[in-house]
Amino acid sequence: MLDVRPIAAFHDNYIWMIRGTGEPRSVAVVDPGDAGPVLAALAAEGLRLEAILATHHHADHVGGIAGLVAATGAQVFGPARERMPVAFEPLAGGARVSLASLGLDFDVLDVPGHTAGHIALVGHGALFCGDTLFSAGCGRLFEGTAAQMLASLETLGGLPEETRVFCGHEYTEANLRFALAVEPGNSAIMDYVKRAAALRAEGRPTLPSTIGLEKRVNPFLRSSRENVKSSAERRAGRMLPTAVDVFAAIRSWKDTFR
User: In this structure, are residues 248 and 146 in contact, taking their beta carbons and an 8 Å threshold?
Assistant: yes
* Residue 245 among the catalytic residues: no
* Residue 61 among the catalytic residues: yes
Indicate whether 169 belongs to the interface with Zn ion (CB under 5 A). no
Shortest reach from residue 59's CB to Zn ion, in Å: 9
- Of 131, 170, 214, 245, which one interacts with Zn ion (CB under 5 A)? 131
**Integer angstrom CA distances of residue 232 from 93, 118, 228:** 32, 27, 6
* Residue 56 among the catalytic residues: yes
* Residue 124 among the catalytic residues: no
- Which residue out of 31, 34, 110, 131 is catalytically annotated? 131
Give 20 or 137: the residue with its C-beta nearer to Zn ion. Answer: 137
Indicate whether 82 belongs to the interface with Zn ion (CB under 5 A). no
Indicate whether 222 belongs to the interface with Zn ion (CB under 5 A). no
Q: Which helix (H) or strand (E) holds 114?
A: none
- Which residue out of 34, 57, 110, 114 is catalytically annotated? 114
**Interacting residues of 179 by C-beta distance below 8 A, sequence separation 6+:** 136, 137, 186, 189, 217, 218, 219
Q: Which helix (H) or strand (E) holds 161?
A: none
* Residue 60 among the catalytic residues: yes
Q: Which helix (H) or strand (E) holds 72?
A: helix 65-72
List of residues contacting Zn ion (CB under 5 A): 58, 131
* Catalytic positions: 56, 58, 60-61, 114, 131, 169
